[in-house]
Amino acid sequence: MAWLLCLFRPDKVKALVNLSVPFIRFDREINPVDVWKAVYGDDYYISRFQEYGEIEGEFAEVGVERVVKEYLCDFPVLLPKGKLFKRPLDEQITLPSWLSEEEANYYVTVFQKTGFTCPINYYRNLGRNWELLGPWVGSKIKTPAKFIVGDKDLAYGMPGMKEYIHNGRFKEDVPSLEQVVVMKGVSHFINMKNQKRLAATYMISFANSIEKINKNLVKVL
C-alpha cells in the first residue's frame, strides 16, 4: 500500500522506508493471482483466500487464538484443506522472544471482535486492483526510498525475487531507491522483531538525510 501511495500521490510522501515487500512492476497481461496459483498451487494462502467465506469457516473451526499465534510465529503460506497448520492443534505454541503473551492476546482480542474477513478481502481484491492499475503500467516510484528485508523472509525467497531486487530491475522501477538492506537471520514482521535496530540504524539516519537534502534544496531555490 505504501508503494502505491507514493505512485499515486508523490506530493504527499517525502520519503519511504519500506519493509519486507518491494515494489513489483505489474504487467497488463498477467494477473498476479493467477501467477501465484500456477507457481505455488491451490494451497497457497492467496489462492485459498479467494473464495468468500471458505477460509473464514476453516479459521473458525481452529479458533481465533490459534490462527493469530500461528501467523505471528510462523506466517504459514500453505494452508491445505483439513490441515491448515503444520503443528498439531493440541500442541502448545511457544511465542518467540520478541512477542509477549500480552501483545499476542491483544491481537487475539481484536480479531475475536472483528473476524478475519476485512484483512482477507485485501487479498480477494488483488485481481481487481491489478485491473485498475492498468493505466500505470510502466510508471516509476519517484519518492526517495529505502528497502529493508530479512534474509529469512518468505517474500525474499520467492522465485526471481532476489534477482529482481539486486540485479537492477528494482532500481529501474524505483529510481530514487537509495539503499537495500538485507538483515541477516530475520524473517517477516521486522518492525516487531528489530524495533530498536530499525529506528537507530536505518530509519532515523535516512530521515535526517532526507531533511538535509530538503534544506539544501530550499537554500538553492
pLDDT, tens digit, 9 for 90 and up, residues 155-191: 899 889 999 999 999 999 999 999 999 988 888 888 7
pLDDT of residue 142: 94
Lowest mean pLDDT among 23-32, 91-100, 128-137, 201-210: 201-210
* Alpha carbons 46 and 122: distance in angstroms, whole number: 10
Tell me, rounded to whole angstroms, the distance of Cα 41 from its chain centroid: 20
For 126, residues 6+ apart whose C-beta sits below 8 A from its C-beta are 32, 33, 46
Question: What string of DSSP letters covers the chain?
Answer: -HHHHHHH-GGG-S-EEEES-------TT--HHHHHHHHH-TTBHHHHTSSTTHHHHHHHHH-HHHHHHHHHHT---B--TT--SSS-TTSPPPPPTTS-HHHHHHHHHHHHHH-SHHHHHHHHTHHHHHHHTGGGTT----S-EEEEEETT-TTTTSTTHHHHHHSSHHHHHSTTEEEEEEETT--S-HHHHSHHHIIIIIIHHHHHHHHHHHHHHHHH-
pLDDT at residue 203 in the model: 65
Angle formed at CA 201 by CA 73 and CA 72, multiple of 5 degrees: 10
CA distance 58 to 56: 5
What order do you get walking across the sheet with 16-19 strand by strand? 16-19, 145-150, 177-183
Pairing verdict, β 16-19 and 145-150: parallel
pLDDT at 110 over 90: yes
What is the rounded CA–CA span in Å between residue 214 and residue 164? 30
The residue among 193 and 214 whose pLDDT is bigger is 193
pLDDT tens per residue, range 112-165 = 999 999 999 999 999 999 999 999 999 999 999 999 999 999 889 988 999 999
pLDDT of residue 218: 37
pLDDT, tens digit, 9 for 90 and up, residues 57-92: 999 999 999 999 999 988 889 999 989 998 888 899
Say whether pLDDT at 98 is over 70: yes
What is the pLDDT confidence band of residue 33, given thresholds at 50, 70 and 90? very high
| Amino acid sitting at position 108 | V
Predicted TM-score of the model (pTM): 0.82
Between CA 191 and CA 40 the distance in angstroms is: 27
pLDDT value for 59: 96
Which grid coordinates are listed for 185? Answer: 537471520
Per-residue confidence (pLDDT) for residue 89, from 0 to 100: 87
Quick one: what percent of the chain has pLDDT higher than 70?
Answer: 87
What is the structure's pLDDT at 220?
36
Q: Would you say residue 45 has pLDDT above 90? A: yes
Q: Count Cβ atoms below 10 Å from residue 91 Cβ, excluding itself.
A: 9
User: Over 80: is that where the pLDDT of 37 sits?
Assistant: yes
pLDDT given at position 202: 67
